[in-house]
Amino acid sequence: MAEACKEWNVSIRRACQVLEFDTSTYHYRSRRPDPGGLKGQMEAFVEHYNHQRYHESLGNVTPVDAHFGRADAIIKQRERIKRQTLEQRRLQHRRFAA
């Protein structure tokens, strides 16, 4: 397609029209020389989203933890820590109140 555009000195749309080629199936190439920066940003976002960001719909664990079956153990550990913390606070309150 690029060769036809250059040879006929027409746009991609016009070349597709003449050749009866559906423009929606033509894959446009980026005019930017190197999409590496964008790829790096996308990889960083996916890394953060899947490995660091807690998802409320998954019980506040990361998707990776949920995928590998670690969610239940993490949630149980959090509940245990919460119970211990609340008990320590109750004891402290009783000491200071007495």
Digit-coded pLDDT (tens) for 4-60: 778 888 887 888 888 887 777 776 666 667 767 788 889 999 999 999 999 999 999
Nearest to 59 by CA among 44, 73, 45, 80: 73
Q: Identify the pLDDT of residue 90.
A: 96
pLDDT band of residue 1 (cuts 50, 70, 90) is low
pTM above 0.75, yes or no: no
Given a cut of 70, whether residue 67 has pLDDT beyond it is yes
The predicted pLDDT at position 56 comes to: 94
